[in-house]
């Protein structure tokens, strides 16, 4: 029996997707085959899971089994795609075999390139983000040609329990990734810096960290649930000659808006570059 899902590249992001699915029982441990690049990673990755999974390195002949799974999750770095291409080009194409679905989460790599490397697969691009770990992620999906209705349902069944799923035109995926997939890192930098400020102003470290996280979470919840424009929320907090407007003057002088705008634009450009 083939494994129900084969994961090519069981690194940080694939683990973040798989762990909650195993916890929920969406896949049983014996239905999953994960492949990593190095032999030394096998034990380390196994240690990340409480269940006993089949995990092998790419030089183990068992790794070829991933290509027999009906669902395959491709989660190597874009720079590692050529190694996979080499491996796939040596596989025997079985005539009349239904095409498996290949879900690629690789930044930037477009469907045209995927379909040229995987002619015997139906390909989907998925752009998830790391809050899938706490089932609060976002995933953008673009379907390639030939994906069947059952395959669409299987792909959605992977991402919907752990994230909000949006179907997007493929040309929007790099910008989507630059905001939502890279975004948790921007937020983490802001969270850390705000806590540093509170420590500088006299709060103990652990309290400052907690308060920073809670301020970000509460503000995001308010923006989302109230439909307030961000500018309105800012104005609600900034009273004349008050503390907030004093702080905002400094943020504007330091160029916070253009720094964030350029960060997202550069990440989208880098995504397109990585895909080539
Ligand atoms: N991290 C994130 O927040 C997001 C990442 N992505 C995308 O997800 C992909 C993975 O990123 P991430 O999980 O962070 O990266 P990692 O480096 O953590 O994971 C890459 C995995 O691929 C394995 N690997 C390398 N070469 C091969 C090979 N030839 N065959 C099989 N497996 C191999 C690595 O094994 P080993 O370590 O042994 O080399 C590792 O397990 C990237 O393409 C990225 O663009 C998309 C959205 C968000
Ligand atoms: O930085 C990266 O390459 C990955 C892609 C999206 C988020 N992290």
CA angle 210/213/214 to nearest 5° reads 85
Question: What sections of 25-123 are H helices per DSSP?
Answer: 39-46, 81-89, 111-117
The answer to whether the CB of 121 falls within 8 A of the CB of 101 is yes
**Mean per-residue pLDDT for 60-79?**
96
DSSP state for residue 100 in the 8-state scheme: P
CA angle 98/102/103 to nearest 5° reads 145
For the chain, state the CA radius of gyration.
22
What domains are there in the chain, each with its CATH number?
5-168 (3.40.50.720), 181-275 (1.10.3730.10)
**Mean per-residue pLDDT for 60-84?**
96
Smallest CA-to-CA distance from 8 within 47, 50, 64, 70 is with 64
Q: Is 130 in the pocket of ligand 2 (CB under 6 A)?
A: no
Question: Of all protein residues, whose CA lies closest to atom 26 belonging to ligand 1?
Answer: 37
Burial letters for 171-193: b for 16+ Cβ neighbours within 10 Å, e otherwise? Answer: eebbbbbbbbbbbeebeeeebee
What pLDDT, on the 0 to 100 scale, is given for residue 275?
87
Smallest CA-to-CA distance from 18 within 41, 44, 40, 51 is with 51
Q: Is there a binding annotation on residue 11?
A: yes
What pLDDT, on the 0 to 100 scale, is given for residue 6?
97
Q: Is 181 in the pocket of ligand 2 (CB under 6 A)?
A: yes
The residue whose two tokens read 């943020």 is 251
* 81 vs 114: CA distance, rounded Å: 10
What pLDDT, on the 0 to 100 scale, is given for residue 60?
96
Q: How confident is the model at residue 243 (pLDDT cuts 50, 70, 90)?
A: very high
DSSP state for residue 180 in the 8-state scheme: I
Q: Is 138 in the pocket of ligand 2 (CB under 6 A)?
A: no
CB atoms within 10 A of CB 69: 21
**Mean per-residue pLDDT for 9-38?**
96
Pairing of strands 122-127, 137-143: antiparallel
Q: Is the pLDDT of residue 1 over 80?
A: no
Report the pocket of ligand 1 as residue ranges, CB < 6 Å: 8-14, 35-38, 41, 58, 75-78, 80, 83-84, 105-107, 127-130, 181
* 158 vs 173: CA distance, rounded Å: 19
Q: How confident is the model at residue 2 (pLDDT cuts 50, 70, 90)?
A: confident
* 212 vs 220: CA distance, rounded Å: 12
* 28 vs 174: CA distance, rounded Å: 33
End-to-end CA distance of the chain: 36
Q: How far is the CA of 183 from the centre of ligand 2 (A)?
A: 9
Give pTM, 2 decimals.
0.96
Q: Is there a binding annotation on residue 78?
A: yes
Q: How far is the CA of 133 from the centre of ligand 1 (A)?
A: 16
* 129 vs 152: CA distance, rounded Å: 20
* 181 vs 179: CA distance, rounded Å: 6
Q: What is the DSSP string of 207-237?
A: HHHHHHHHHHHHHHHHHHHH---HHHHHHHH
Question: Of all protein residues, whose CA lies closest to atom 1 belonging to ligand 1?
Answer: 13
Q: Is 212 in the pocket of ligand 2 (CB under 6 A)?
A: no
The answer to whether the CB of 67 falls within 8 A of the CB of 6 is yes
* 199 vs 193: CA distance, rounded Å: 10
State pLDDT tens for residues 147-185. 999 999 999 999 999 999 999 999 999 999 999 999 999
């Amino acid at each position: 029996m083939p494994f129900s899902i084969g994961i090519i590249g069981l690194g940080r992001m694939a683990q973040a997707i798989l762990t909650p699915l195993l916890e929920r029982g969406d896949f049983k441990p014996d239905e999953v085959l994960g492949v990593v690049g190095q032999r030394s990673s096998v034990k380390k990755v196994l240690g990340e899971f409480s269940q006993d999974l089949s995990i092998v390195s790419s030089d183990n002949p068992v790794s070829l089994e991933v290509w027999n799974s009906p669902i395959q999750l491709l989660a190597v770095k874009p720079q590692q795609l050529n190694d996979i291409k080499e491996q796939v080009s040596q596989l025997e194409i079985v005539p009349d075999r239904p095409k498996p679905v290949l879900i690629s989460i690789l930044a930037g790599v477009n469907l045209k390139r995927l379909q040229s490397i995987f002619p015997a697969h139906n390909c989907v691009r998925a752009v998830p983000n790391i809050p899938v770990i706490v089932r609060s992620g976002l995933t953008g999906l673009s379907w390639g040609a030939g994906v069947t209705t059952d395959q669409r349902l299987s792909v959605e069944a992977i991402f919907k329990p752990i994230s909000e799923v949006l179907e997007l035109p493929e040309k929007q995926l790099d910008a989507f990734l630059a905001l939502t997939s890279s975004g948790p890192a921007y937020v983490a930098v802001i969270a850390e810096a705000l806590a540093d400020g509170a420590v500088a102003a006299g709060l103990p470290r652990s309290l400052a960290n907690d308060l920073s996280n809670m301020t970000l979470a509460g503000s995001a919840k308010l923006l989302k649930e109230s439909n307030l424009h961000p500018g309105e929320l800012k104005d609600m907090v900034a009273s004349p000659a008050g503390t907030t407007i004093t702080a905002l003057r400094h943020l504007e002088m330091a160029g916070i808006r253009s720094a964030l705008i350029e960060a997202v634009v550069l990440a989208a450009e880098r995504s397109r570059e990585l895909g080539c």
